[in-house]
Amino acid sequence: MRIGVDWGGTHIKAAVVDGANVRTHAAADTNPATALDDIARLVDSLSPEPEQVGIAIPGEVRDDGRCWRLPNVPGFEGVNIAAELQRRIGCPVAVENDATTAALAERLFGWGNTYKSFLLVTLGTGVGGGLVLDGNLRRGRSGFAGEIGHVLVNSAPDAWLCGCGKRGCLEAYAGKAGLLRRYAESGGSASSVKQIAEIGGEGADDVWRQMGDALGSALGSINNTLDLDAIVFTGGISNSLHLIEPYIREALGGRAFAQPLADVPLKVSQLGEHAGVIGAAHLPTP
């Protein structure tokens, strides 16, 4: 029995997964101090003796199972989450970055059945990504492959500051904080991107333009390098992709080295809210 866990920082989802199907699932809130115990308890509630457990985590993972750090969860620098959970749960545990895990789910059960090489872009509080090339999930040398969020889209000295500490990253302009900032500078007031989409109007259009410009610029450079079969979007904001796509296309066309690179298909993942746990359940265990 495979169990997939999606650890989103303050919330954990876990599910018994069979292929692309979720048999049963459970969820719990958590905090940094108790997260590992909470995950183990949630897994135990689904199955006291699981055969294999995979966890998607909000950060990157080294080859040896240690994570580099979790940007939104303090106290996990260099922690071997796989080993810690294996000790608590008592079966092999695989750990992988959440966006890379979502790319695996897409590879197995989504657009990966149509396109062999694609970048999965996760749009949410931050901007993340996972990369599949010629049908194979790529982790990269250090676990960072596909992390599009910190591609430079503005090199001006006063470019917006990113959560990573550098300036001008894609995430600074296309992540939640940057989108809310743009909306405020256009005279609007909102606490979520969903709210901006509901209100609509010119202020919202300024937001979609900024997001599309930044995404298209980054994706243009990336596609000049990788010549992908498709780019797939997922995450809450991807529901508004039709509003953003014209701006993405324009910026992508401006960056693309040749027309075929500008014409890359842009798709929205159809896997839905369970993609994280489904991908996690299929992570290869060490």
- In the complex with Zn ion, the residue whose CB is nearer, 84 or 171, is 171
- In the complex with Zn ion, the residue whose CB is nearer, 99 or 169, is 169
122 touches 128 (CB < 8 A):
yes
Query: CB of residue 255 vs Zn ion: minimum separation in angstroms?
Result: 19
Angstrom distance (rounded) from CA 123 to CA 119: 13
Q: Which of 87, 90, 60 shows the shortest CA–CA distance to 73?
A: 60
Counting contacts by CB under 5 A, is residue 150 touching Zn ion? Answer: yes
- In the complex with Zn ion, the residue whose CB is nearer, 53 or 170, is 170
Among 27, 164, 177, 268, binds Zn ion (CB under 5 A): 164
Counting contacts by CB under 5 A, is residue 107 touching Zn ion? Answer: no
Count of positions on this chain that bind Zn ion (CB under 5 A): 5
Counting contacts by CB under 5 A, is residue 162 touching Zn ion? Answer: yes
Helices (H) then strands (E): counts for the chain: 10, 10
Contact region for Zn ion (CB under 5 A) — 41-49, 143-151, 174-182, 265-273? 143-151
Tell which positions 2-21 bind Zn ion, by CB under 5 A. Answer: none
Backbone phi and psi for residue 233, each to the nearest 5 degrees, phi listed first:
-105, 145
Counting contacts by CB under 5 A, is residue 177 touching Zn ion? Answer: no
Residue 248 neighbours by CB under 8 Å, 6+ apart: 212, 215, 216, 219, 266
Instruction: Collapse the DSSP code of 22 into the 3-class scheme (helix H, G, I; strand E, B; otherwise coil) and give the result.
Output: strand
Counting contacts by CB under 5 A, is residue 214 touching Zn ion? Answer: no
Query: CB of residue 125 vs Zn ion: minimum separation in angstroms?
Result: 13
- How is residue 113 written in tokens? 């059945």
